Structure 1
Amino acid sequence: MIGKRAVNGSVLVVVVALLVVLTVLGGLLSVLTTTGARTGADQSQSVQAFYHAESGLEWAVWEMRRQEPDDDDEYATACGSLEGHEDPDGRYRITVLENQGGNCRLQFIGAVPGIDNPQAQRRLRVTINPRAVEGRDPNVVQDPDNWANACSGANRSCNDDGSLTFSSNSGKDQLNRSGAADDLVDGDAFTGEDEVFLFLRFREGEGDPADFGLENVPENGDRMWSSDGTGDLPDGYNAGASLGNGFTPNQLNDSNNLRFIMEWDGDQITLEASCIGTRAGCEGGTDDPADQWGEE
């Protein structure tokens, strides 16, 4: 009897120990599951809050364009009008951080479920480029003030919509600088340390660009650049080339022998827009080109 009791007692101890272990494991699994679910929910809310902040950015650019500022004073007025604006659904709030010297630096705070009771928030800081606000679709390659033969000759035409059509039978053409005329690019578009790009948008359904670029860029000699190798293109452009660095806007503007060279496949090709500057500048302006929209 004593031996049997001892065996039963040992079994009971083992069973109790197993129950304790299973209880601990169950509790741990519950904690891990709850924590994982909470972490996933937090990440989802954070992403949603960032999208709300981006929505604020899109609205701000639209609103400033709607006011159609024509000079620095009107631009500053349009920028100042954004201070304290909140989305009607409470998803974002706008703060003006700087509004002088042609700079409109804004902060967008996106929140979930809303600004007044946030469970997740994301902050976006952006300097909006006046060029984007003006609503223009710049085509610095077409401007006849910069190129002697931009709108002349049977093989090219400057169209009413601001586009430039090349139609040479050889599939090649070039524009020559007409001396140091008007500014080709804004004096603050980039610095000598920045990598500068030439971005272009060609009309779909026509010819395909084979090669293009600027020749006689200051400090860089004669070069031709392919449309390959520029990485992700800014919105609104479908081709681009790196011009390198080591030169300033004034050097580019003062280059009398600058040339834009174009080669394409097909009967004709139409250039709808172009931009010379940093990647971020051609996207519409940011605090730091390396950080895209300056997210924090």
Structure 2
Amino acid sequence: MQNFNGSIAVNEFIFAGLTDRPELQYILFVVFLVIYFLTLLGNLGMIVLIKFEPRLHTPMYFFLTNLAFVDLCYSCNVTPKMLVNLLSERKSISFIGCFLQCYFLIAFLLTDPLHYTVKMSRRVCICLATFPYIYGFSEGLFQSILTFRLSFCRSNVINHFYCADPLLIKLSCSDTYLKEHAMFISAGFNLSNSLAIILIFYAFILVAILRIHSAEGRRKAFSTCGSHMMAVTLFYGTLFCMYVRPPTDKSVEESKIIAVFYTFVSPVLNPLIYSLRNRDVKAALRNNKSKTSFREKPSNT
């Protein structure tokens, strides 16, 4: 179907996927299905545990609940469609489906609930948690509208496994100057500011760790902070590589591997790194396990 100007009116997009080898697609399906299940189990488990354990009703765990929720939404936005496509011959997504996937992808990428402090009221916590959602969804809508106002007349095949701005820009036959610069400015500003805030917080934490007199205490603290920094580096490093550079054929191929890290690896690792290695969370898990075991014991009367 063609418009009056000779361009093709795209009603759907086709995903090239991670690989075109059928034997690998079944293996990838099993691998990503397991990762998806672990992501759901870990993040839902953290949300439920923090909700029902009074000792975890602190600002830090309030924000970790939001992190788990964002990871769940982010994973559910991409993974189910990808799993279906791995078993399908025709890997398609509707125009509106691609718009919504792109919109929620940007929105949840900009929703960073890890900027927390130790002492603050519940009202302040809610305000601090709400602002990233409002900003993320507003910016996501703005960027998605800029993207889907473009004309797609070259092809409707996306060389990826989900809809993302850099890939859609390459398919456009209209002027992408405004969209490209808006994407670079938004990604550069938001990612740099978020990363800078996190690094400043960790600089203060590092100073506090160096004041610990016990060598064992310093070792444990460095171990915890090291795993946190690994998660931060993995998440922000891959996003910088994906969004803060012009889309070329080489960068598009590399973006498939990069996207696997922040789409699958980060959401499944975050519950382990930020919560399950935490002493309070371990105690809460043992407490709930003992309560469950006690309830399951048959009565002697």
TM-score interval, normalised by the smaller of the two chains: under 0.3
- Output the TM-score relative to the length of structure 2: 0.22
TM-score relative to the length of structure 1: 0.22
Higher RCO structure, 1 or 2 (CA under 8 Å, sep 6+): 2
Rg comparison, structure with higher value: 1
More strand by share: 1
